[in-house]
């Protein structure tokens, strides 16, 4: 299982201690791309990479993928294995509570099935909930920047 860590201070996600970055050509950097299936080029102009193994984020297991959009933005999406059902709001989620504690943040919600967090001026995180199936997903979006080069 891969380990994902979100660092809100520098606006970065790491998979197994490797930063998730997109190069000047809009390609996922090799250190993370090798953890994924070959890229799929979508009609929308996006490129999608699926992780070959499960990912642990805040100690919760999930499937993951990365979508690169037009070379200047990318998203990391996690679909959690844990099935949850809520009485009133997505903010009741055990997964969201664990992430809030781990990242020392508070998600906001204006809809029972969506919770969001903006951070560092270049990114945001959104939890989505499918009430019919009890599926919870997290999408973390970034504008392309270079962290360590």
- Would you list the domain boundaries of the chain? 2-143
Q: Identify the bridge partners of residue 22 per DSSP, sorted by sequence position.
A: 28
Token pair 């998730």 is found at: 20
What is the per-residue pLDDT for 73? 66
What is the per-residue pLDDT for 53? 95
* Displacement of CA 59 from its chain's centroid (Å): 14
117 contacts: CB under 8 Å, gap ≥ 6: 105, 106, 107, 108, 124, 125, 126
**What tens digit of pLDDT does each residue of 111-134 get?**
888 999 887 777 788 999 887 887
Residue 146 has pLDDT above 70, yes or no: no
What is the per-residue pLDDT for 52? 94
What is the per-residue pLDDT for 147? 45
Q: Residue 7 is encoded by which pair of tokens?
A: 């660092």
**What tens digit of pLDDT does each residue of 31-66 get?**
888 999 998 888 877 888 999 999 999 999 999 998
Residue 7 to residue 13: CA distance in whole angstroms: 6
Residue 57 to residue 59: CA distance in whole angstroms: 5
**What tens digit of pLDDT does each residue of 88-117 get?**
888 989 999 999 999 999 999 988 889 998
């Amino acid at each position: 299982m891969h380990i994902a860590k979100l660092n809100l201070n520098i606006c970065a996600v790491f998979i197994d201690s490797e930063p998730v970055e997109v190069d000047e050509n809009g390609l996922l950097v090799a250190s993370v791309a090798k953890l994924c299936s070959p890229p799929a080029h979508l009609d929308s102009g996006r490129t999608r990479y699926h992780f070959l193994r499960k990912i642990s984020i805040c100690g919760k297991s999930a499937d993951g993928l990365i979508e690169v959009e037009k070379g200047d933005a990318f998203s990391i999406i996690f679909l959690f294995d844990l099935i949850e059902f809520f009485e009133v709001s997505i903010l009741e989620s055990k997964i969201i509570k664990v992430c809030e504690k781990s990242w020392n943040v508070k998600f906001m919600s204006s809809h029972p099935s969506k919770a969001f967090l903006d951070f560092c001026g270049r990114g945001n995180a959104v939890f989505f909930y499918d009430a019919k199936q009890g599926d919870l997903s997290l999408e973390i979006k970034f504008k392309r920047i270079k962290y360590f080069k």
